[in-house]
Amino acid sequence: MATVTSYGAAKVVTGSCHLLAIEHGPRILIDCGMFQGPEEDRNYSAFDFDPSEIDYLLITHAHLDHVGRIPKLVKEGFNGVIYATEATRDISEIILLDSAKIMKEDYKTNFKKEQRRGKEGEVREPLYDEDDVEASFDLVWHYPEYDNSSLIQEGLKVTFRDAGHILGAAFIEITYKEDNVEQTIVFSGDIGNDNDLVMEDLEKCTHANYLYVESTYGDRNHKDIEASIVEFKRVIIDTLRDWGNVLIPSFAVERTQEILCILKEMHDRKELPHCKIFLDSPMATRATEVYNNHSDLLSQQCQDYKKRDGTVFDFEDLVYTPDVEGSRAINEVDTRAIIIAGSGMCTGGRIIHHFKNRLWNPKNAVIFVGYQAVGTLGRHIVDGARWVKIFHEDILIKASIHTINGFSAHADQDAIIKWISKMEDLYRVYLIHGEEDKQVILRSVIENALGKKAHIVEPEEVIYLG
């Protein structure tokens, strides 16, 4: 009998890693993500399976919590074949190289700090380096297109379908034969919302015997995106009219492209007062390039922009400043600059420099458009801090602070239920990638509204399919 074991994203939202073992058949890993936040230490433990015995790695999408441990997997013996959409491969390279760079910088900083205390021997080495990342891309990769099934070996077929979450994201249908009976198991990865500005809608899934589904927002429905866009535009217009500047801390992949789309639309409709927009992030610049290269996978509006302008995101007021000189030159702009920079939670990156230069000015505004985790500088500001310490200097916050919550790349409860309701032959639903209190709520909705059995997967619990 086939089994699935979840080595991550079981009762938590990070570290996605699920092993499907088909009896007398191959061992297939679905995602190999990094644990983040309070779970971070788990990245440093050895895998609870032998990476060299994995035959296939299927990647749902390129977020760090789904791909972040792939170089470690390769370093520890994985030599199998990887399946991912081409866009996922391209975004993964950006994400993994950035992750290696951050770990290297953190290591250097911690080493120096501990050296002063004579404890440098206790500093943890990075999980992997840039060479390990490159080695992952030297393995054999296949790039399935959405909806085209790949027969990966006799009796084993995989189909990637558009998950509408970030560029290249897929939910994966795996069909295998056991005792001559065909079974289909679906792994959702992360599924997106309908009406996303940049991505296409989540595709329907009409057949599944078993479903592993994410439950990040299984307990709630999102605020209306339209209302959030109106609020976002209002802050921009009011601040610029008052000759202030707008700072937007943003994640490089997906949220930045959404923000660019809104600004481009404002520009098109002449809603945007005269200003300069700076995308001040080398990583977001690269990610935007990849989005532009794969524009055929994006929303109709993005495809229309590409057709009309030859580019999805560019317009005359937008300036990319990937290099340091360009970034520094932004400091010379006194008024009416919109600065989009990383990191998304203000834990590092260029946004910190812009905060130092502009948070003190009451004419300026900061717009938070993404989740801010506890313990980050972003969260500290969102929670109402009056002062922040930046580069050993106390800065009084006089800029106005705005939090806009309606942007989300994840399906909410209604969207998850609607998606599952279309699946025929569904025997059981397994909830992963969510916190337990939210999963309990989603489980009862699935059982009551859909009449399907649902189970909250425990870490390393072996689930027998059949």
Closest CB 6 distance from Zn ion, rounded Å: 16
Closest CB 165 distance from Zn ion, rounded Å: 6
Q: How far apart are CA 387 and CA 351, in angstroms?
A: 16
Binders of Zn ion: how many residues, by CB under 5 A? 2
Range in contact with Zn ion (rule: CB under 5 A) among 83-91, 186-194, 257-265, 272-280: 186-194
Question: For Zn ion, which is the closer residue by CB, 16 or 327?
Answer: 16
Closest CB 433 distance from Zn ion, rounded Å: 9
Question: For Zn ion, which is the closer residue by CB, 190 or 280?
Answer: 190
Question: For Zn ion, which is the closer residue by CB, 190 or 258?
Answer: 190
Question: For Zn ion, which is the closer residue by CB, 95 or 420?
Answer: 95
Range in contact with Zn ion (rule: CB under 5 A) among 57-65, 105-113, 141-149, 415-423: 57-65
Q: Residue 190, interface with Zn ion (CB under 5 A)? A: yes
Question: For Zn ion, which is the closer residue by CB, 167 or 346?
Answer: 167
Question: For Zn ion, which is the closer residue by CB, 14 or 347?
Answer: 14
Closest CB 217 distance from Zn ion, rounded Å: 12
Question: Applying CB under 5 A, which of residues 21, 51, 56, 63 lies at the interface with Zn ion?
Answer: 63
Closest CB 382 distance from Zn ion, rounded Å: 22
Contact 91, 287 (CB under 8 A): yes
Closest CB 163 distance from Zn ion, rounded Å: 9
Closest CB 30 distance from Zn ion, rounded Å: 14
Range in contact with Zn ion (rule: CB under 5 A) among 26-34, 185-193, 337-345, 399-407: 185-193
Question: For Zn ion, which is the closer residue by CB, 191 or 399?
Answer: 191
Interface residues toward Zn ion, by CB under 5 A: 63, 190
